[in-house]
Chains A and B, each alone.
Chain A
Amino acid sequence: MKTIFRRFCKRKASVLGLIVLILFVLVALVGPSLCRQDPMAINAGQIHKPPSAQHWFGTDYLGRDTLTRLVYGARISLALSVSAVLSGSLIGVLLGVCAGYFGKRVDAIISRVIDILLAFPNLLLAMLVVAILGQGLFNTAMAIAISSVPSVARMVRGVVISLRSSQYISASRVMGESNTRIIFTHIIPNSVSQIIVNTTLNLGTAILSASSLSFLGLGVQPPNPEWGQMLSLARTALRLNPSEALFPGIAITLVVMSFSLVGDGLRDALDPKLKNVS
């Protein structure tokens, strides 16, 4: 654990990413209770105002405080992407392990399905799910979870296939260990580092997809302060008050970038055998 942390710290950019993420998580957790204003409070006298002492990040088309909405939005964006990616990864890992470990028929069926789903660009798959389920917070999370399953499953399948033929797995099998036991005590622990790295990288993608869906009006619905949706509202007043778009845009970029940096750092730290060219 200590060595992992030391190796992670070698990459300064990743440490920076981790710090930014921790800050955003703190904002999401305690921020709303520190805010003096209500994210939904409409103020007709303060429409599209640039940053000022009273409204540090300015206000939107209903006079709502951008900073407050951004803070509440952090909660929505992070909770949405974390829950979506975790559930998507769980299903993906299960499918991938089954396909890779059992091989033959099971693998043939799962792999065909994955191949077909991979014929859809990720965002299109998410849109298809939204088209069926409808918009909203929960459905957006579902859409992102489902659209992340195929790539996770394929990655895990590859890892498991390379593990399956190793000698210690054969040895366990000869010793009469059950499949379930082999999967949970050998296969999953040995592929966990790649799963963690992949999940971290997916978190960034999930934030991008969720905010894109909300920007298009297919994701989180008003009046919930979601970052992508805030940008969508700011678009109409871009010339009048650019700060309205700037702050949520920077927030999304920072969080997405931090997840990528932390993911890269984790890859170096957890799996030194993996080729590291960056």
Chain B
Amino acid sequence: MLRYTIKRLLQLIPTLLAVSMIIFFSIRLIPGDPISLMYGLSEAGGVDPAFIEQMREQYGLNDPLITQYFRYMGNIIFHGDLGTSIVTKKPIMDELMNRYQYTIVLALGGTLFGSIIGIAVGIISAVFHNKAADNFLMAFSMIAVSMPSFFLGMILMLVFSLNLGLLPSVGMKGVKYAILPVATLGLYAVGLIARTTRSSMLDVVNQDYIRTARSRGVSKTKIYLSHAFRNALIPILTAIGLRFGILLVGSSIVETVFTIPGLGRFMIDGISHRDYPVIQSTMLVFATTFVLVNTLVDLLYGFVDPRVKYD
């Protein structure tokens, strides 16, 4: 187990380096001169070219790209410095620290909510395979997967805060504020997790060892919950890991619907304003979080299924 863990952790290094390079070099493809953008100058405007040249030198934009990349990464790793926003002129790190918590609460909360309900729905569907309950729950999952989260969020907002007045619809100032956004993200995850759980359970239930257990008189409930579920867990974990990535980026949509000052919104505003240091840093944080969570899921495989270790 230890060897497997160390191996997976070491694999993180090249992946994260590659991800950061893709982001860094793609952002450099954005047309327009960052200094002109920074000072709100149009390219054709009568600005002293010497001033722009001086600023380019100061920000190190005249160095080769690869030097710029290593300087950027060095600043992140050794100084925790992600650069300065072109629009607000403030350090990105401070802003990020304030906003990251909201996004993580949304993504983790949504994943947890989606997993609990999704697994329950999936197991019930598998137990009542092809009966009315199964058909109903699968239709529900189908709708949940197909509904865009901004539409679902607006419906929940309309019903629970605008009409019933039960929950706040704007901002993020406490647990009550988190319920609707987390439910919006979570319901989106329910669909896929429920479908994966159901088909994975049905696969397992048709195996010989389950029939053996049945013939030895083990009750159906016990078989489903202890024998089958444990063996069906790997595809379910994969689905949950993948959903987490979708919810992480999807948080930007929910943050827009419920006006939450999270990281996703920061990234979207960055893209709209061509604030390239912000785009670069927020994307790096999103991709890194996704990679780390997927590694964690991979490590969980080893605990769930002892066979994984010997690969």
Chain A interface (Cβ < 8 Å from any Cβ of B)? 115-117, 119-124, 127-128, 130-132, 204, 208, 211-212, 215-218, 228, 231-232, 234-235, 238-239, 242, 245, 248-249, 252-254, 256-257, 260-261, 275, 277-278
Q: In the complex the two chains form, what is the Cα distance from A238 to B157 in whole Å?
A: 9
Q: Determine if B287 and A119 form an interchain contact, defined as CB atoms under 8 angstroms apart.
A: yes
Known: A128-B283, A228-B148. A116 touches B199 (CB 8 A): no
> B158 and A128: CB pair below 8 A?
no
Q: Determine if B19 and A119 form an interchain contact, defined as CB atoms under 8 angstroms apart.
A: yes
Report A-chain residues with C-beta under 8 Å of the C-beta of B283.
Answer: 124, 127-128, 131
B15 close to A (CB within 8 Å) = yes
15 A–B contacts, CB within 8 A, in A order: A116-B18, A119-B290, A120-B19, A121-B249, A121-B286, A124-B245, A127-B268, A131-B283, A212-B148, A215-B253, A239-B162, A245-B151, A256-B145, A256-B146, A257-B145
B65: Cβ under 8 A from any A Cβ: no
Closest to B201 in A: A277
Does B151 lie within 8 Å of A132, measured CB to CB? no
Contacting pair B199 A120 (CB below 8 A): no
Asked if A252 contacts B148 (CB within 8 A), the reply is: yes
Chain A residue nearest in CB terms to B157: A238
CB closest chain-B residue, reference A257? B146
By a beta-carbon cutoff of 8 Å, the part of chain B in contact with chain A is 15, 18-19, 22-23, 26-27, 29-30, 138, 142-143, 145-151, 154-155, 157-158, 162, 195, 198-199, 202-203, 245-246, 248-250, 252-253, 256-257, 267-268, 270-272, 274, 276, 279, 283, 286-287, 290-291, 294
A246 to chain B, nearest CB (A): 8
Which residues of B sit under 8 angstroms from A238, Cβ to Cβ? Answer: 154, 157-158, 162
Bound-state CA distance A122–B290 (Å) is 11
What is the minimal beta-carbon distance from B134 to any residue of chain A, in angstroms?
10
Of B18, B138, B155, B253, the residue contacting A278 (CB under 8 A) is B138
Total of A-B residue pairs, C-beta within 8 Å: 137
Residues of B within 8 A of A252 (CB): 147-148, 151
Complex: how many Å from CA A252 to CA B154? 14
CB distance from A123 to the nearest CB of B (A): 4
Smallest CB-CB A-B distances: 3 pairs? A249-B151, A257-B146, A121-B245
- A125 CB, nearest partner CB in chain B, Å: 9
Q: Determine which residue in A204, A234, A260 has the highest number of CB atoms from chain B within 10 A of its CB, and name it.
A: A260
CB neighbours (8 Å) of B287 from chain A are 119-121, 124
Given contacts A119-B290, A245-B151, contact A257 B143 (CB under 8 A): yes
List of A residues within 8 angstroms of B203 by Cβ: 275, 277
Q: A121-B287, A277-B198 are in contact. List 14 more A-B contacts (CB 8 A).
A: A119-B15, A124-B286, A124-B287, A132-B30, A208-B148, A215-B148, A216-B256, A232-B150, A235-B150, A238-B154, A239-B158, A256-B146, A260-B142, A277-B202
CB distance from A242 to the nearest CB of B (A): 6
Q: How far is the CA of A242 from the CA of B158 in the complex (A)?
A: 8
The answer to whether B253 and A249 touch across the interface, beta carbons within 8 angstroms, is no
Query: Could you tell me the distance in whole angstroms from the C-beta of A277 to the nearest C-beta in chain B?
Result: 4
Query: Nearest residue in A to B29 (C-beta to C-beta)?
Result: A132
- The smallest beta-carbon distance between A109 and chain B, in angstroms, is 13
Given A216-B252, A216-B256, A131 and B199 contact (CB-CB distance below 8 Å)? no
A123–B252 Cα distance when bound, in Å, is 10
In the complex, what's the smallest C-beta–C-beta distance from B91 to chain A, in angstroms?
Answer: 21
Nearest residue in A to B267 (C-beta to C-beta)?
Answer: A127
Q: Is the CB of A131 within 8 A of B279?
A: yes
In the bound complex, how far is the Cα of B154 from the Cα of A116, in angstroms?
Answer: 35
Closest partner residue, chain A, to B272 (CB atom):
A217
Q: Which A residues are CB-close (under 8 A) to B30? A: 131-132
**A231 touching B154 in the complex, CB below 8 Å, given contacts A119-B15, A128-B26:** yes
Q: In the complex, are the beta carbons of A215 and B150 less than 8 A apart?
A: yes
Chain A residues contacting B279 (CB-CB under 8 Å) are 131
Whether A249 lies near B250 (C-beta < 8 A) is no
The reply to whether A253 and B157 contact each other, CB–CB distance below 8 Å, is: no
Rounded to whole angstroms, the CA-CA distance of A128 and B22 in the bound complex is 10
- B142→A261 contact, CB < 8 A: yes
Q: Are A116 and B157 in contact (CB under 8 A)?
A: no
A116 to B162, CA, bound (A): 43
